[in-house]
Amino acid sequence: MIWEKRGGVAYSTVTEAILTASGLSEEELLHPAPNSHVTLDGLQQAAEVILRARNEGRSAVIIGDYDVDGITSTAILSMLFSFLRIRHTTIIPKRFTEGYGVSTAHIEDVSDALIVTVDNGISAGSILTDARKERGNYVVVVDHHLPDASVPEVDAIIDPHYYNSGGFMHYCGAGLAYQLAMYMISEDVAPETLCNDLLILAAVGTVADSMPLIGDNRLIVSKALAVANNRFAPMSAGLRCLLDACGDPGTLRANTLSYKLSPMLNAPGRLYDSGGSSVLKALLCKDQELGNSYVTKMVAINQDRKRMVEAYLSLACDSAQGQSSPIVVYLPGLLEGLLGVVAGRLIGTFNSTVVVLSDSRDGKAIKGSVRAVPGDNAKELLDSVRNLLTVYGGHSGAAGMTLERANLDAFTDALKEMRSSHSVCSNLLYDVELSQETVFRSMRALNRFEPLGHGVPNPVCVIRNVEVQDVAYMGQDKNTVKLVCDGFSILGFGKAELYRKHNEPRTLDVIGTLSENHFRGRTTIQVVAEDFHPCIF
């Protein structure tokens, strides 16, 4: 596998790489300026509608989505409405039988009430317009997706892309719901537990939806991690149980939310029709014993999800080899709830925009998920073939769609015509070149710039001339190798055979990311390896 400098440049420090990749100054990353509520269009109108509904004694219906952002944003509004003493019900659409977003079936019997959609609704068109005009409902849309010609006529809209007025544009649904909640309550009056819950939920949604960790998002995630890492900070039992399952207080980072908590929250909704509703119950749970029960089930479901993904990933990689961008992979039998997971894994392997397709649960249609690399736009990709799609939606980084089976070949052919003239390859891109002696100093620098994630990525490092002191093969199948070095370890998940193939070298070059491992109160530095080979002098 070829290692290639990203953009033809490799930096000598992780600080240089982070500042360049983010496009921000050190001051902007370490001390981000908050966005004023005043600049978030629609916020005041939405708050006024909600308070008017409460004063009129109306009940409310909150309709979210089955992904992490949709569930956390629904939980935020449910907590807000409980605090405001607004009677309400929540709806998380069923992934397989109902699909994304609010539908007529959800609200056809709702009248003279308050309807709030969150993480959906901006393209609901007549569904919400009719609910307002024909059945006397107040309707508020809280969404971060790109609007199209189907924007409904409602009482208030919070969606930065709808107004496009130049404010902060990178909120997810949970981030917008959090801003609405904090606008409507006073931290001096609201219980500390409520404020902490709202903050953590907003952070989880932000990280899970791959929003850039800049500006307000950076503030939200930074503050939330400070709360999550304080074992004495009050929060709901369900949230504390979920966080405890991901690591001890003091060890939680943005990548903990991204790679441990988010998959756990996503898994039930990916495998089961009503799984998202169960996750919402866990987030709102106030009982410790019940919270632990939810977490135990979610961990088991996530393990099932991992096994299913691995079973299809090798097939997907074989199909993707030699293709140009966008890569298109059709995997019959893959659960539609796992399409995005496989697409995300392929992006990491091939550095290309990816479209993964499979059969719908009833076999009558084709479902698909798009994941786009920076510079491409998933939603615009589908805009260009909208005539072949039954329904679609999304944003620049990710999108989903449904098409009739009869249109599968035409859809695939249309995407092939968009391809560049160069085949994608599985070259590994890196940002920084380090020596073994600079690893400790580099880890300290990375910790300064937490949270790291989308928009402020953890740099990929090449470390040369690493001397291996000890070797351990780990895991149930002994397919993971741990190489103990001076001051850090190299961890190669699934790379034991690769190490043996290289005749177990004691001096090597490695490419990967730096992180900290916390175990039994001890913190050590590890390099999570993407590849390694014997050192070439």
d(CA 366, CA 330): 9
- Cis peptide bond N-terminal to 326, omega within 30: yes
Taking each helix axis from N to C end, the angle separating 68-83 and 275-284, rounded to the nearest 10 degrees, works out to 40
Residue 100: per-residue pLDDT: 84
Question: What mean pLDDT is reported for the chain?
Answer: 92
Whether 361 shows a pLDDT value over 90: the answer reads: no
Residue 420: per-residue pLDDT: 64
Residue 36: per-residue pLDDT: 64
Torsion sign, CA atoms 478, 242, 257, 392: positive
Using one digit for the tens of pLDDT, what is the confidence trace for 394-444? 778 889 999 999 999 999 999 988 876 444 556 788 999 999 999 999 999
d(CA 45, CA 56): 17
d(CA 459, CA 453): 10
Residue 537: per-residue pLDDT: 58
Which band of pLDDT confidence, cut at 50, 70 and 90, is reported for residue 246?
very high
Rg (CA), the chain: 24
Length of the chain (residues):
537
Using one digit for the tens of pLDDT, what is the confidence trace for 440-489? 999 999 999 999 999 999 999 999 999 999 999 998 788 899 999 999 99
Residue 316: per-residue pLDDT: 93
Residue 34: per-residue pLDDT: 80
Mean of the pLDDT values across residues 183-201? 92
d(CA 21, CA 18): 5
Residue 421: per-residue pLDDT: 47
Half-sphere exposure (Cβ direction) of 140: Cα atoms closer than 13 Å: 25
Using one digit for the tens of pLDDT, what is the confidence trace for 482-531? 999 999 999 999 899 999 999 999 999 999 999 999 888 889 999 999 99
d(CA 320, CA 336): 19
Which residue reads 């919070």 in tokens? 158
Structure tokens at 447: 């910790």
For the chain, the straight-line distance linking the first and the last C-alpha, in angstroms and rounded, comes to 18
Using one digit for the tens of pLDDT, what is the confidence trace for 97-140? 888 889 999 999 999 999 999 999 999 999 999 999 999 999 99
461 strand-pairing partners = 432, 512
d(CA 491, CA 500): 14
Q: Are 26 and 19 in contact (CB under 8 A)?
A: yes
Report all structural domains of the chain as residue ranges with CATH numbers, in order of start. 2-31+427-534 (2.40.50.460), 43-280 (3.90.1640.30), 326-418 (3.10.310.30)
d(CA 339, CA 324): 20
DSSP string computed for 21-74:
HHT--HHHHHSPPPPPGGGSTTHHHHHHHHHHHHHTT--EEEE--SSHHHHHHH
Taking each helix axis from N to C end, the angle separating 192-208 and 215-228, rounded to the nearest 10 degrees, works out to 120
Which band of pLDDT confidence, cut at 50, 70 and 90, is reported for residue 352?
confident
Using one digit for the tens of pLDDT, what is the confidence trace for 262-306? 999 999 999 999 999 999 999 999 999 999 999 999 999 999 999
Q: Higher-confidence residue: 426 or 204?
A: 204
